[in-house]
Amino acid sequence: MENDAAAPQIGLTFDCADARGQARFWAIALGYVPAPPPEGWQTWEGFFGDHDVPPEERDDGAAICDPGARRPTITFLRVPEPKRAKNRLHLDVKVSGGRHVDPEQRAQRMEGKVAELLAAGATVQVRDVLRGRLDHVVMQDPEGNEFCVA
């Protein structure tokens, strides 16, 4: 493979109704923090002002980032249309440590994260049990986007 500097970076974007609300939820889910303003600006308001973003459009987007800068930035964009169908791509929130971890400990880790996300506005769709043991939990975020806690 060529030099990593030439490799494209990735970011994830959610279309949603409430960009800031979704950003808050996913920051809790993933241990992310609000993304800082672009380089050269001290605040998002300063950036918006310098780019003539009308005040009524300033809540149309939000972004979160990994405080360790290892995982991709996630952006949330307000769109007018509602979610209509099942996601074709979803996130796995991996907290169990993997299948080599004691099944009781895996289940405790998953259920702890599920409880935290329920309190943040998520819903449980399915607790998937494999051979009598919790394998993963299918959930939906506050706007109905599916994801798994594994």
Do 105 and 63 lie in a common domain?
A: no
pTM for the full predicted model:
0.87
Phi then psi for residue 28, to 5 deg, are: -65, -45
Is 86 among the domain residues?
no
Residues 74 and 97 in one domain: no
Read off the pLDDT of residues 50-102 as tens digits, 9 standing for 90 and up.
999 999 999 899 999 999 999 999 999 999 998 888 888 899 999 999 989 99
Q: Are 75 and 62 in contact (CB under 8 A)?
A: yes
Tokens 């310098």 — which residue? 50
How many domains, in total, are found in the chain?
2
If asked whether residues 17 and 74 sit together in one domain, one would say: yes
17 and 72 belong to one structural domain: yes
Domain that holds residue 50: 4-78
Last residue of a domain, one of 78, 105, 125: 78
